[in-house]
Amino acid sequence: MEKYYLTTPLYYVNSKPHIGHAYTEIAADTLARYHRIAGREVLFLTGTDEHGQKVAKAAADAGLAPGEFTDKISGTFKDLWRALDISYDDFIRTTEPRHIAAVRAVWQKLEKAGEVYKAVYSGWYCTPCETFWTEGQVLPEGGRTLCPDCKRPIERLEEENYFFKISGHRQWLIDEIRRAENFRILPDTRRNEVLGFLEHNALQDLCISRPKSRMPWGIPSPLSDSHVTYVWFDALINYISAVGFGADEKKLARWWPADAHLIGKDILRHHAVYWTILLRALGLKLPRLIFAHGWWVQGGEKMSKSRGNVIDPVEIAKTYGVDAFRYFLLRETAFGQDGVFSEEAFILRYNTDLANDLGNLLHRTLTMCEKYFDGSVPAGVSSRCAGELKEGVDLLESKLSRSLEKLAFSDALAEIWALVGQANKFIESSAPWTLAREKKTGELKVVIVSLAEAIKAVAQALWPFMPSTAEGIWRQLGIAEPVAKASFKKNLWGYFEKGGQVAKGAPLFPRIETKREGLR
């Protein structure tokens, strides 16, 4: 069976998750579900990044020991993923023994290959970004020195550390990125950004440790009792530690390279430059794809806990439903671009796309099944007299796979909604109520069967995005879930040749009339 290994970043456990984190996770879940029903064996990895100065500080502020604190916050991520129907296969915590062992194995392998050395690090460090900055990169402002990325004050470090030799890796990486065969960076804007960085900057060797005396909350380096691993160096290794690096060669060979690393655009360089170079130094293949998505912004700024402009995904999902939330995040903006989350925009999409277009299509169709055919999809309509919706149904799966190959979630949803729109128009143009009045039962049957086939196809295509909505539709159409999933890749049309019994339920998406108090 073909495999598909996809990963999300490991989220820092300095505070509870917001919609920025939920975004990567929902996108990854959609992709994982899609590849599963397309017949692949999927490994969907997520987890939490638990070491480093930022987490240590958050634990101290909360008055807890780091381990106690990270257990608690890591648990809130797991709870949220459960609530959002995230079907991850593995959740890795960087404090787990399997990960620690892999990080230590990486240190040892690099040392043996002569790739690490000790020297004095003299430069800047941004704790919120957990990033080292050189003198030339930082922003001096009014007597303070700010991080060039997050614009917050940073501290000066002068300490003995270990370095990983990366300066000689520039040219092959540029060539690989340009070639874009086995290793792609998407969207193109991000690929160009990485190329620009590599072409205009000399690569500086990467500092990969911190002195234990200053920052004890990290994985001890096997090369020195007085150093721990720099948090980014520790965290990136998760993508191979979870698949057995240093412990299970067979597992590693099965899953590596990753098919897709989903990340936000703020952590592109760590992945596209440092991670790829580390892989090469370890003699491992590069991932097939790094996709850097955009940010959810509020008031022109990236949504983040420290800026105090976050929206709580739990609240949104509780108020409007998990699937509506999943739909909005993936439909509203193209995956590579920034998006603005507002409750007005959310309600508009909910009422228009979900309540009106999709909800009404199902409701009207099932009402006609009840009214004209005793609650059934009538039998005896050959799939050969298919009606005008068949072409849209037949093409849906290939359109979906073309869009999802590029992680164009919004386009994929637009394709599905094009069929929903076509089916709604078909009801108007075929006027089944007139056919019923004029007792044209044969024609009426074709109309109802066509609609049932189209809705079934819509639900199948929708399942990766909105699993419980799709399952609800199948239930109302009287289709068993395993049957619907199994037939995803086959010709979608023809299921109702023998008819079927429907079970109309409550509307999927009751209209929202008023905005809830308190949300932006």
Candidates 267, 355, 466, 473: give the one binding ligand MSP (CB under 6 A): 267
Return the number of other C-beta atoms located less than 10 Å from residue 188's C-beta.
Answer: 11
The interface mask with ligand MSP, positions 14-43, x = CB under 6 A, is: ------xx-xx-------------------
- Which residues in the 96-155 window bind ligand MSP by CB under 6 A? none
In this structure, which amino acid lies at residue 195? L
Q: How far is the CB of 484 from ligand MSP (least distance, A)?
A: 32
Q: How many residues bind ligand MSP, per CB under 6 A?
A: 21
Q: Which residue is nearest to ligand MSP (CB)?
A: 264
Of 28 and 466, CB closest to ligand MSP: 28
CB 280 within 8 Å of CB 172: yes
> Which helix (DSSP H) or strand (DSSP E) does residue 414 occupy?
helix 409-430
Q: How far is the CB of 15 from ligand MSP (least distance, A)?
A: 9
Of 244 and 264, CB closest to ligand MSP: 264
Comparing CA positions, the residue from 175, 183, 169 lying closest to residue 115 is 169
Choose one: 169-177, 192-200, 231-239, 510-518; the region binding ligand MSP (CB under 6 A).
231-239
Comparing CA positions, the residue from 514, 20, 513 lying closest to residue 265 is 20
Distance of alpha carbon 252 from alpha carbon 248, whole angstroms: 6
Asked whether position 49 contacts ligand MSP by CB under 6 A, the answer is yes
Of 289 and 447, CB closest to ligand MSP: 289
CB 273 within 8 Å of CB 194: yes
Of 246 and 294, CB closest to ligand MSP: 294
Sign of the Cα torsion 452, 458, 460, 463 reads negative
Q: How far is the CB of 46 from ligand MSP (least distance, A)?
A: 10
CB 286 within 8 Å of CB 176: yes
Distance of alpha carbon 127 from alpha carbon 12, whole angstroms: 12
Q: How far is the CB of 263 from ligand MSP (least distance, A)?
A: 5
CB 490 within 8 Å of CB 38: no
Q: How far is the CB of 467 from ligand MSP (least distance, A)?
A: 22
Q: How far is the CB of 311 from ligand MSP (least distance, A)?
A: 9
CB 469 within 8 Å of CB 405: no
Q: Is 308 left (phi over 0), alpha (psi -120 to 50) or beta?
A: left
Q: Cα-flanking dihedrals φ and ψ of residue 341, to 5°?
A: -95, 115
Choose one: 3-11, 146-154, 470-478, 485-493; the region binding ligand MSP (CB under 6 A).
3-11
Choose one: 141-149, 216-224, 230-238, 496-504; the region binding ligand MSP (CB under 6 A).
230-238
Could you write out the DSSP letters of every residue in 182-207? SSEEESHHHHHHHHHHHHHSPPPPEE
Distance of alpha carbon 242 from alpha carbon 42, whole angstroms: 14
In this structure, which amino acid lies at residue 200? H
Choose one: 4-12, 58-66, 169-177, 352-360; the region binding ligand MSP (CB under 6 A).
4-12
Candidates 85, 96, 193, 266: give the one binding ligand MSP (CB under 6 A): 266
Of 23 and 465, CB closest to ligand MSP: 23
The interface mask with ligand MSP, positions 286-315, x = CB under 6 A, is: ---------xx-----xxx-----------
Q: How far is the CB of 387 from ligand MSP (least distance, A)?
A: 42
Distance of alpha carbon 421 from alpha carbon 353, whole angstroms: 10
Place of tokens 């001096």: 140
By CB under 6 A, name the binding residues for ligand MSP: 9-12, 20-21, 23-24, 49, 235-236, 238, 263-264, 266-267, 295-296, 302-304
